[in-house]
Structure 1
Amino acid sequence: MKSQRLLVDFVRAKWYIYASGIAFTAAANMIQSYFPHLLGRFTDQLQEGGLTQSAVIDYSLMLLGVGVSYGLLGGIGQFHIMYVGRLFEFFTRKRLFDHFTALSEHFYSKFGVGKLLSYVMNDVTSVRESISMGINQTANAIFLLLSAVTMMLFSSIPLYLIGACVVPLLFIPWIVVRFGPLIRKRSLAVQESLGTMTESAEEQFGGIRVTKKFAVETIMNGRFGKTVDQIRDNQLKLVRVSSFFQSLIPFLGALSLVITIIFGGYLTLNAKMSLGNFVALTLYIRMMVNPLQQIGNVINTMQRSRASLERLNDLFAMKPDIEEIEQSTELDFHQSAIRIKDLSFSYPDAKQEALHHINLTIEPGKTIGIVGKTGSGKTTLVKLLLRLYDSTQGSIRIGDVDIHDLSLESLRGGIAYVPQDGFLFSTTIRENIAFFRRTASLCQVEKAAKQAQIYGNIIEFPDKFETKLGERGVTLSGGQRQRTSLARGLIKNAPIMILDDSVSAVDSVTERKIMDAIRAERRQQTTILIAHRISALKYADEIIVLDEGRIVQRGTHQALLEQKGIYATLHAIQEEGSQHA
Structure 2
Amino acid sequence: MKKTINKNHKKQIIKYYLHKYRFHYIIGILTLVFVDIIQLRIPLITKDVTDGLQTGTYTMENIANRVTVLIVIGISIAIGRFVWRYFIFGTSRHIEYELRNDFFGHLEKLSLRYYNDHQTGDLMAHATNDLNAVRMMLGPGILMALDAFVLTTLVIIQMVTVISLRLTLFAIIPLPFIAIGSLLLGKVVQLRFKEKQEAFSELTDQVQENLSGIRVIKAFVQESKELLAFQKVNAKNFEKNMKLVKLFAWMMPLSGLISGLSISIILGYGGYLVILGDITIGEFVAYINYLYMLIWPMIAFGMCINIISQGRASFNRIQSILNEVPEIEDNEKTKDIKVIKGNITIKNLNFTYSHSKEKALKNININIIGGQTIGIVGRTGSGKTTLVNLLLRLINPRENTIFMDGNDIFEIPLKTLRYNIGYVPQDNYLFSNTIKNNIAFGMPLAYNEEVKNAAQIANVHDNIMDFTNEYETIVGEKGVTLSGGQKQRVSIARAIIKNTPILILDDAVSAVDTNTEEQILRHLKEKRKNKTTIIIAHRISTIQHADNIFVLDEGEIVEEGTHTELIAKKGLYYNMVKRQQLEKELEKEV
With structure 1 as the length reference, what TM-score do the two structures score?
A: 0.96
Match runs of 1:470-485 below 5 Å:
470-485=476-491
Alignment match, 1:409: 415
- Offset at 1:42? 1.7
Aligned partners of 2:77 and 2:455: how far apart in 1? 66
Aligned partners of 2:400 and 2:425: how far apart in 1? 25
In the alignment, residue 28 of structure 1 is paired with which amino acid? V
Alignment match, 1:122: 129
- Offset at 1:332? 7.1
Among 22, 25, 34, the residue aligned to 1:15: 22
User: Does structure 1 residue 216 correspond to structure 2 residue 216?
Assistant: no
Aligned partners of 2:283 and 2:526: how far apart in 1? 97
Alignment match, 2:495: 489
- Offset at 1:333? 5.5
Gaps (5+ residues) in structure 2?
Answer: 1-8
**1:98-144: CA deviation from partner (whole Å, max 9, x where unpaired):** 11111111111112222221121111111111111222223332222
Match runs of 1:18-97 below 5 Å:
18-97=25-104
- Offset at 1:213? 3.0
Answer with 345-354 or 131-140: which moved more.
131-140
Match runs of 1:224-303 below 5 Å:
224-303=230-309
Among 386, 392, 396, the residue aligned to 1:386: 392
User: Does structure 1 residue 435 correspond to structure 2 residue 441?
Assistant: yes
User: Does structure 1 residue 316 correspond to structure 2 residue 322?
Assistant: yes
User: Quick one: structure 1 residues 22 and 333, their matched pair in 2 at CA, closer, same or farther if it must change by over 3 Å?
Assistant: closer
Answer with 502-511 or 444-453: which moved more.
444-453
8 A Cα contact 1:169 1:256, kept in partner: no
Aligned partners of 1:294 and 1:27: how far apart in 2? 19
8 A Cα contact 1:21 1:80, kept in partner: yes
**1:527-559: CA deviation from partner (whole Å, max 9, x where unpaired):** 111001111011111111111111111122122
**1:472-500: CA deviation from partner (whole Å, max 9, x where unpaired):** 11221111011000011111111111100
- Offset at 1:97? 1.7
User: Quick one: structure 1 residues 393 and 406, their matched pair in 2 at CA, closer, same or farther if it must change by over 3 Å?
Assistant: closer
Gaps (5+ residues) in structure 1?
Answer: none
In the alignment, residue 383 of structure 2 is paired with which amino acid? G
Aligned to 1:109, the other structure's residue is in SS state helix
Among 565, 571, 584, the residue aligned to 1:559: 565
User: Quick one: structure 1 residues 23 and 331, their matched pair in 2 at CA, closer, same or farther if it must change by over 3 Å?
Assistant: closer
Aligned-pair RMSD on alpha carbons? 1.8
Among 139, 143, 146, the residue aligned to 1:136: 143
8 A Cα contact 1:334 1:364, kept in partner: no
8 A Cα contact 1:330 1:410, kept in partner: no
8 A Cα contact 2:134 2:314, kept in partner: yes
In the alignment, residue 453 of structure 1 is paired with which amino acid? N
User: Does structure 1 residue 106 correspond to structure 2 residue 113?
Assistant: yes
- Offset at 1:4? 8.2
Aligned partners of 2:144 and 2:447: how far apart in 1? 55
Aligned partners of 2:155 and 2:295: how far apart in 1? 11
**1:399-434: CA deviation from partner (whole Å, max 9, x where unpaired):** 211000110001111111111222111222112111
Aligned partners of 1:517 and 1:202: how far apart in 2? 39
Aligned to 2:326, the other structure's residue is in SS state coil
Aligned partners of 1:286 and 1:217: how far apart in 2? 57
**1:425-479: CA deviation from partner (whole Å, max 9, x where unpaired):** 1222112111112222222222211111101101111221222221111221111
Alignment match, 2:581: 575
- Offset at 1:394? 5.6
Aligned partners of 2:400 and 2:413: how far apart in 1? 19
8 A Cα contact 1:264 1:278, kept in partner: yes
Answer with 208-217 or 102-111: which moved more.
208-217
**Percent identity between the two aligned chains:** 36
- Offset at 1:3? 10
User: Quick one: structure 1 residues 330 and 7, their matched pair in 2 at CA, closer, same or farther if it must change by over 3 Å?
Assistant: closer
- Offset at 1:560? 1.8
Number of aligned residues: 579
In the alignment, residue 58 of structure 1 is paired with which amino acid? N
Alignment match, 2:464: 458
- Offset at 1:29? 1.2
Among 139, 142, 159, the residue aligned to 1:152: 159
Aligned partners of 2:268 and 2:371: how far apart in 1? 96
- Kindly report structure 1 stretches of 4+ aligned residues shifted beyond 6 Å: none
In the alignment, residue 442 of structure 1 is paired with which amino acid? N
In the alignment, residue 251 of structure 1 is paired with which amino acid? L
Among 489, 500, 505, the residue aligned to 2:506: 500
- Offset at 1:519? 1.6
Alignment match, 1:359: 365
Aligned to 2:93, the other structure's residue is in SS state helix
- Offset at 1:360? 1.2
Aligned partners of 1:367 and 1:100: how far apart in 2? 35
- Offset at 1:88? 0.8
Alignment match, 1:419: 425
Aligned partners of 1:416 and 1:15: how far apart in 2? 46
Aligned partners of 1:9 and 1:558: how far apart in 2? 64
Alignment match, 1:371: 377
Aligned partners of 1:122 and 1:242: how far apart in 2? 18
Alignment match, 2:3: none
8 A Cα contact 2:337 2:413, kept in partner: no
Aligned partners of 1:116 and 1:548: how far apart in 2? 35
User: Does structure 1 residue 186 correspond to structure 2 residue 185?
Assistant: no
